[in-house]
Structure 1
Amino acid sequence: MEIMLRPALGPIGAMPGAESDDLLDRAWRDPWTRADCRRVALGMMPGCGFVDDATLLDCLKFEVRRGRLTVSAASASSTQFAPPQPPSKPRQSVLLIDAFEKGKGGGAFINITRAEVVAGLRERVKKPEGIDQGSTSLCGPSSLCYNLLLDDPDTYVRYVIDLYETGAAMLGKTKVKPGESCRSFKPKGIAPVDWIATASLRDSENLMFNYDDPSDAFGGITLPNNLAGWMEGLGYTSVTNETNVWFSKDPEDFDQAVRLLRQGQRVCIFVNSRIVDGQEKVSHFYSVPDHWIVLHASGGLAHGTLAATFWTWAQMIPVPKTGAMNADTFCGNFFGYVAGSPP
């Protein structure tokens, strides 16, 4: 994807972080370039219907930070978006997968083949958003692994390989050692690589309940303090756990989550899953948190409505599907967030 933006914003090279954000902010303020910026952002958010300008700008910044786009001056009179060039040397994760593929025999997960793990690892490194919990309740570990793949794919690959080869692994400072029933399960409705990465973490964390079947809703529940602890163990800094498991949160809490996202943090949102499906809750009393999603872009709730994009179930999902959602409706299903700055 490539567009030319006018007018000149100064001859600059590829810039990560705050510098690229500043360039995008200046390009967005200029009426001549805003239309081109909008076209690129909307092209990366298919099917989203109406999306406000703040959300579109956040989308561009997010894609630059994750390496999907680079922003640079093509000349003294134009600015350019273009796909990033591949690295001159293979990433460590690629080398790890290649070496793992050459190994012999099966592993600790007796109903998953080495070839399935190799194919899954390559797909996840290439496309982190492909993680799919399916019908399982593994949304917490899935959200963590999605963010980890964006920030540190090498650690993710080592983690999965160690689990398969030995039945145990360190995920940062967290020791993960799933039980025999988890390791012997033949995954259905979830990719083998996702079962290894997410079910192992959930099963290892449970002291009283095993997670050995995708239909096990209770054993798969991830509490906010668990998710925050995993992030801290992986080296995420300034980790914030602003959640409530009994009462929904306020618009100000979501607006703070959006501010943290704009500062470059990863933000996991705790919700009732009906809000992602576009179903309005019946009442405050009956709405309970049962799902983790990752905030991708939003303009916040300052105007009394929500238009946002979240990652979950292997896709970017606009909420609502079309138009905007009343802030009260969203907040009645919103139970806070866990956020942290990437290592």
Structure 2
Amino acid sequence: MPHLRFQVAALSALLFTLPFVHAADDAGKGTGNEQPGKVKTAIAKTLGKIRLDGDMLAVLKAHENLRPKAIEKIDVPAARANPTIADAVNALLRQNGRSTDPAQLVPGVTSIDGTVQGGAGMIPARFYTPAGPGPFPVVVYFHGGGWVIADKQVYDASARGIAKQAQAVVVSVDYRQAPENKFPAAWDDALAAYKWTVANAASFKGDVSRVALAGESAGGNLALATAISARDANLQKPAHVLAIYPVTQSSLNTESYLENAAAQPLNRAMVEWFIDKLLDNKEQLKDWRLNLIDAKLAGLSSVTLISARVDPLRSDSAKMEEALKKADVLVERRDYEGVTHEFFGAAAVVEKARNAQAFAGERLRKAFGN
């Protein structure tokens, strides 16, 4: 099986470097043809059938049926209106005659919308609370979306699942996004939201002495960066940091970027598009907040890293694990075969997502002393 995986990875990387792939898939740019390129789509489908679990494939098929446009070919408003993996999960649930009500999918957790302090004013947030009198430990959670798209609603299932599995209040933060608010606005909001949560945890059944950080994709980067900033500002040390397929470095030529260059639902061209919208200039790529593997990591709280095998960001997690170990930070990484980027929030229909959420909850509960 490892030998087959190596062959498939090598084939994917080789195909994506061939000139005909780029020529065929770039042909639609600027012509009104905003659908994903036919060649890259064919490659992704073929390799997906070999590499992905059946339930993950079903999610990607449901997503394809919603006809998402290729993000790298459209503008920001259109990208924000694109169907998401969360939409695909709901489509599958309806197809199978199941409820899409979050309260039924994750019983025992209630949610209410509110605000928290951001870097330049109050920003939206959603508070998820387990059943019981509390006080509960608290997790400040940052959603994914390349710092440009998505919001707390798109990542509702992830935050809700963490609240259930960790038996913790989860504060899901809608930080400011680019290009309206470019780098480092999201990072400023993340740190401010953490400070606000520590100061106000008692007002929403939270235990101020047990506040952790978590995030997914771009939000995983924010969670790790906030832990570093909190240490440098002599703030309360987070109880734990949970980072789910985080961005931890700025090179697009890692093993997993090359291996999964044409993957769905995240690929190399999309990441380039996100970075273009995020930054004012390429010099900012050198900032430690985008290159966490080169930041000063000593003294951080324990960290959990979750990665997906079919994901351009898989190597980011592996490199982060290595950097944390070199800094003597307690870290555990779990890499999930057969799934893609965005799998974590698909627990309603994907077995590995349920496993990953259970693992995340176990790690958080241990850090909280539960």
Query: TM-score, length-normalised on structure 2?
Result: 0.30
Normalized per residue, the structure richer in helix is: 2
Q: Which has the larger radius of gyration?
A: 1
Query: TM-score, length-normalised on structure 1?
Result: 0.32
